[in-house]
């Protein structure tokens, strides 16, 4: 609420974020130019996330940043995302060159004059920032009351803090965890370690492939080390005698110095493969080691010096070594299938990895770049089925996120590429899942469910489960959809963000509105730019009679997906009553 004062001064209640750099003077003294470069990069991260959470930067003097937000949920979710992004950037630098920020968040009464903020509300945010740990977040008790049940985060009370120039002590809380960690009881401590309930080991050999470290000295080569990691995960996952942690769970540990015994406990695996990649032109140096997480013994280690064109043989050697060391029993013909490459052209492979890197950025622009890279890969190898599959997903993403007004054409292209991929290799679970999701959108419900079930048959993993759960929701088998979504989330130690989106949708379809809202709010903290989170929050809040919140999320839907149409989108529902109910709620929320 805003009130007018004298001489153009306004008074309003707002959420305030204050941040500054830890040890800025030391960093400047050590290396002035590098520090300014790092500060500029950090400010870009702040600007991006503040804008995506509906905030605005009020002032940014020196190494400080002051921003305001329409709600404390936006402010705290933004702070968490910023610290996560900064941590990923800092992983590239030695400890003495890290640029850590402290962040404080408060809600209070402020005075506004010519866009600047003044008053105790701002002062408290600044004092909270000074109380935060390096790379940490402190919030006021007032903020804590509003967010404690709306964001899946862990908090630690710091008691009432006496702060400079504020008459009364301020109840203060430290934010302990990353987005959604409460779902797994994973709490980040000051030392950056993790505590969680240990997962039991499966009854077969088990392994996690941690993200290989990019040692090339060029951040642009990150796609290659990540792609190599993912390919090894894919190869090993095809062996039915071996339990392999999924990509998104393994990549939680990217860029972190971790205790491998703790990794084993959190991921529920006996063994870990870790390594590094150094690429210079067409030369590769790859180091890899296999470790027993219970005994900390190194079971196997090797360094490979090869040319890029030998990358496929090199991956096969690593896979064979793991199979041998873990004494994995292969079924007849399995090794040939597991080590069959999608392409034998290293140029196509390199372009494919670049495309995957873009797709995982989850934006309209990055998806367009990914599509172009997949097309270039297919120009080198027209039979590269994995590239066909991901090209299809790029077209599907454009349609489902309402980034294009050519929705029908994009869905047709997505299905065409899925079918082409399956014609080359019908064991590709992701291609079956893609065909199923497209057919849902086209109203071909029986064919869609058959494709989604084929995906699970080929690859009974959390990813295939969650796509099938989505299909069950669209055809009116709501309780089955909820049960399978829960299984998908529980299958992986750290599920991908969209798992929680589908889980929240399943809760809502099953009539469990409170759990739906809680889960979808969690999903927003994980993926604030994923428009489906906002879409189904708009529906859920409208259904709960909370129209202000419904309309707020509806505005986010329109911002992210400008071509959204309620009449078009909800045609995917098989049951007329569910389709009509969703259209009516979308209209009530203000969606076009």
Q: Does 254 share its domain with 378? A: no
Residue bearing tokens 């770049």:
369
pLDDT digits (tens, 9 = 90+) for 420-439: 999 999 888 999 999 999 99
Q: Does 166 share its domain with 259? A: no
Nearest to 323 by CA among 299, 287, 295, 294: 299
In a domain, 345, yes or no: no
363 vs 575, higher pLDDT:
575
d(CA 206, CA 239): 11
How far is C-alpha 391 from the geometric centre of its chain's CA atoms?
20
If DSSP codes are grouped into helix, strand and coil, which group holds residue 195?
strand
Instruction: Look up the CATH number of the domain holding residue 267.
Output: 3.40.50.10610
Q: Does 489 share its domain with 568? A: yes
pLDDT level of residue 183 (50, 70, 90 thresholds): very low
Instruction: Give pLDDT, residue 182.
Output: 29
In a domain, 223, yes or no: yes
Q: Give 300's contacts (C-beta < 8 A, 6+ positions apart).
A: 289, 290, 321, 322, 325
Residue bearing tokens 């940014």:
60
Q: Does 288 share its domain with 376? A: no
In a domain, 201, yes or no: no
Instruction: Give pLDDT, residue 444.
Output: 93
Rounded to 5 degrees, φ, ψ at 503 are -60, -45
If DSSP codes are grouped into helix, strand and coil, which group holds residue 259?
coil
* Residue 461, both tokens: 């993993």
Summarize the confidence of residues 243-258 as an average pLDDT: 78
Q: Among 195, 217, 235, which residue terminates a domain? A: 195
Nearest to 138 by CA among 149, 116, 153, 117: 153
Ranges 62-71, 176-185, 277-286, 333-342: which has the least confidence: 176-185
Q: Which helix (H) or strand (E) holds 567?
A: helix 566-569
Q: Among 338, 367, 400, which residue terminates a domain? A: 338
d(CA 405, CA 448): 23
Q: Does 414 share its domain with 527? A: yes
Q: Does 119 share its domain with 223? A: no
In a domain, 426, yes or no: yes
**Domain count within the chain:** 3
Q: Do residues 533 and 520 touch, judged by C-beta distance below 8 A? A: yes
In terms of phi and psi (left: phi > 0; alpha: psi -120 to 50; beta: otherwise), the region of 473 is alpha
Q: Among 137, 167, 195, which residue terminates a domain? A: 195
In a domain, 352, yes or no: no
**What domain range is 288 assigned to?**
206-338
Dihedral sign for Cα 426, 429, 430, 435, please: positive
Q: Does 414 share its domain with 558? A: yes
Ranges 5-14, 37-46, 217-226, 284-293: which has the least confidence: 5-14
pLDDT at 126 over 80: yes
In a domain, 248, yes or no: yes
Q: Does 98 share its domain with 45? A: yes
Nearest to 318 by CA among 229, 211, 258: 229
pLDDT level of residue 331 (50, 70, 90 thresholds): low
Q: Do residues 251 and 225 touch, judged by C-beta distance below 8 A? A: no
pLDDT level of residue 194 (50, 70, 90 thresholds): very low
Instruction: Give pLDDT, residue 430.
Output: 92
pLDDT digits (tens, 9 = 90+) for 477-493: 999 999 999 888 888 77
pLDDT level of residue 275 (50, 70, 90 thresholds): confident
pLDDT at 239 over 60: yes
Instruction: Look up the CATH number of the domain holding residue 531.
Output: 1.25.40.10
* Residue 590, both tokens: 């203000």
Instruction: Give pLDDT, residue 177.
Output: 52
Provide the terminal-to-terminal Cα distance of the chain, rounded to the nearest Å. Answer: 27
Q: Do residues 532 and 496 touch, judged by C-beta distance below 8 A? A: no
Look over the chain and give the mean of its residue pLDDT values, rounded to a whole number.
Answer: 83
Q: Where are the beta strands (DSSP E) in 191-282?
A: 194-195, 206-209, 213-214, 243-244, 271-280
Residue bearing tokens 């701002």:
122
Q: Does 379 share its domain with 238? A: no
Residue 310's CB: how many other CB atoms inside 10 A?
15
Q: Does 75 share its domain with 49? A: yes
Using alpha carbons only, how large is the chain's radius of gyration in Å? 25
pLDDT at 404 over 80: no
Q: Does 539 share its domain with 437? A: yes
Q: Give 76's contacts (C-beta < 8 A, 6+ positions apart).
A: 105, 137, 139, 143, 147, 151, 153, 175
d(CA 385, CA 579): 35
Q: Do residues 70 and 15 touch, judged by C-beta distance below 8 A? A: yes
Instruction: Look up the CATH number of the domain holding residue 13.
Output: 3.30.70.1230
If DSSP codes are grouped into helix, strand and coil, which group holds residue 233?
helix
What is the bridge-based pairing of β-strands 194-195 and 271-280? unpaired
Dihedral sign for Cα 399, 531, 457, 235, please: positive
In a domain, 344, yes or no: no
pLDDT at 333 over 70: no
| pTM more than 0.75 | no
Nearest to 526 by CA among 565, 494, 572: 494
Residue 115, CA distances (Å) to 2, 60, 67 in order:
13, 13, 11
Summarize the confidence of residues 398-419 as an average pLDDT: 88
In a domain, 346, yes or no: no
Residue 7, CA distances (Å) to 2, 115, 121 in order:
15, 13, 21
Q: Does 385 share its domain with 431? A: yes
């Amino acid at each position: 609420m805003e009130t007018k004062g004298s001489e153009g001064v306004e008074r309003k209640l707002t959420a305030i974020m204050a941040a500054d750099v830890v040890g800025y003077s030391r960093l400047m003294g050590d290396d002035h130019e590098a520090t300014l470069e790092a500060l500029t990069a950090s400010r870009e991260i702040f600007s991006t996330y503040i804008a995506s959470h509906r905030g605005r930067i009020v002032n940014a003097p020196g190494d400080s940043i002051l921003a305001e937000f329409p709600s404390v949920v936006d402010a705290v979710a933004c702070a968490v995302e910023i610290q996560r992004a900064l941590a990923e950037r800092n992983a590239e630098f030695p400890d003495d060159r890290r640029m850590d920020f402290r962040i404080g968040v408060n809600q209070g009464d402020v005075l506004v004059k010519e866009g600047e903020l003044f008053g105790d509300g701002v002062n408290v945010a600044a004092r909270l920032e000074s109380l935060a740990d390096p790379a940490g977040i402190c919030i006021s008790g007032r903020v804590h009351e509003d967010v404690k049940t709306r964001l899946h985060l862990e908090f630690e009370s710091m008691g009432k803090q006496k702060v400079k120039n504020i008459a009364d002590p301020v109840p203060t809380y430290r934010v302990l965890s990353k987005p959604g960690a409460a779902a797994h009881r994973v709490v980040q401590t000051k030392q950056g370690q993790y505590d969680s309930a240990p997962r039991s080991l499966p009854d077969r050999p088990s392994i996690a492939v941690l993200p290989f470290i990019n040692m090339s000295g060029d951040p642009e080569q990150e796609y290659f080390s990540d792609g190599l990691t993912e390919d090894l995960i894919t190869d090993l996952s095809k062996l039915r005698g071996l339990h392999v942690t999924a990509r998104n769970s393994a990549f939680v540990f990217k860029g972190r110095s971790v205790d491998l015994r703790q990794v084993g406990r959190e991921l529920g695996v006996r063994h870990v493969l870790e390594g590094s990649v150094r690429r210079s032109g067409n030369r590769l140096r790859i180091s890899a080691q296999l470790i027993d997480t219970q005994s900390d013994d190194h079971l196997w280690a090797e360094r490979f010096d090869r040319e890029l064109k030998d990358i496929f043989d090199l991956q096969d050697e690593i896979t064979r070594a793991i199979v041998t060391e873990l004494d994995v029993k292969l079924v007849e013909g399995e090794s040939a299938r597991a080590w069959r490459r999608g392409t034998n052209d290293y140029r196509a492979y390199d372009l494919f990895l670049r495309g995957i890197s873009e797709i995982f950025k989850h934006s309209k622009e990055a998806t367009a770049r990914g599509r172009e890279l997949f097309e270039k890969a297919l120009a080198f190898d027209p039979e590269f089925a994995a590239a066909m599959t991901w090209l299809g997903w790029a077209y599907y993403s454009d349609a489902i996120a309402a980034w294009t007004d050519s929705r029908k054409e994009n869905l047709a292209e997505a299905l065409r590429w899925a079918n082409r991929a399956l014609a080359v290799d019908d064991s590709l679970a992701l291609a079956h899942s893609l065909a199923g999701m497209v057919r849902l959108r086209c109203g071909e419900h029986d064919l869609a469910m058959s494709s989604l079930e084929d995906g699970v048959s080929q690859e009974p993993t959390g990813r295939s489960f969650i796509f099938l759960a989505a299909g069950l929701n669209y055809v009116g088998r709501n309780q089955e959809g909820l049960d399978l979504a829960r299984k998908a989330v529980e299958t992986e130690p750290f599920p991908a963000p969209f798992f929680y989106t589908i889980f929240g949708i399943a809760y809502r379809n099953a009539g469990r509105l409170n759990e739906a809202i809680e889960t979808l709010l969690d999903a927003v903290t994980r993926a604030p730019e994923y428009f489906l989170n906002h879409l189904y929050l708009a529906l859920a809040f409208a259904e709960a009679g909370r129209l202000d919140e419904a309309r707020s999320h509806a505005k986010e839907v329109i911002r992210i997906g400008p071509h959204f149409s309620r009449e078009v989108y909800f045609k995917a529902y098989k049951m007329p009553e569910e389709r009509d109910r969703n259209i009516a709620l979308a209209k009530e929320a203000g969606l076009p």
